[in-house]
Amino acid sequence: MPKIIGLTGGIGSGKTTIANYLVSLGYPVYIADDAGRKVMQKQEIIDAIKEKFGLEIFENNLLNRAKLAKIVFDNPEQLKKLNAIVHPAVKEDFKNWLTRYLESPLVFYESAILFESGSYNDFDVIITVIAPLEKRIARVLERDNSKREQVLNRINAQWTDEQRISKSDFVIENLNIDLAKQKMDEFLKILLIS
């Protein structure tokens, strides 16, 4: 059975860059956001979202993710409702995914909301990626073409770096990607021998 490692960090921290680096090294990495998008296309999930959030967030029977995001990122109670629908489906999808990698020494589960979802309890080790707030905002503005206020709303809907660090086994400060990769290499050596 592989060691299952949670990889997390706030929006714009660079956790996906670290996840992609791990993939380039040959490690299996489950990207929870991608899985969430996939499970949100399942009919039973669509039906549950329609029931909780109404038909106005659908256009031609397709979920308008931007409308849904505006609802949930501006309202923590609405976010909890959405998470209660999506997280159990993602958890089941991960269990199915994991069966393909039982021979791997390490597998990684990348998620921005590892702690908020409560799924952090399911992992052997947790790595948190952090970066200064302004650097995170700049990365997201460049990547998503968002407005600063939208980015701050998403940051404020997540745990703080301090909260994540307090429950993590390892922390990567991502000021410079080459240094962050070096730190990840150090952690991999520890994880492979422990």
Helix (H) or strand (E) holding 114: none
Residue 14 labeled ligand binder: yes
Phi and psi at 14, nearest 5°, equal 105, 15
C-beta of residue 31 within 8 angstroms of C-beta of residue 110: yes
* Rounded Cα distance, 146 and 138, in Å: 10
Is 15 annotated in a binding site? The answer is yes
DSSP 2: P
Question: Is there a binding annotation on residue 118?
Answer: no
**CB under 8 Å to 177, separation ≥6 — which residues?**
14, 17
How far is residue 181's CA from residue 188's CA, in Å, rounded to a whole number?
10
Which DSSP state fits 168?
-
Q: How many CA atoms lie within 13 A of 179 on its CB side?
A: 9
Q: What share of the chain is helix, strand, coil (3-state, %, to 5)?
A: 60, 15, 25
- Is 13 labeled as ligand-binding? yes
Which structure tokens are listed for 179? 């240094």
Annotated binding site for ATP: which residue ranges? 12-17
Annotated binding site: which residue ranges? 12-17
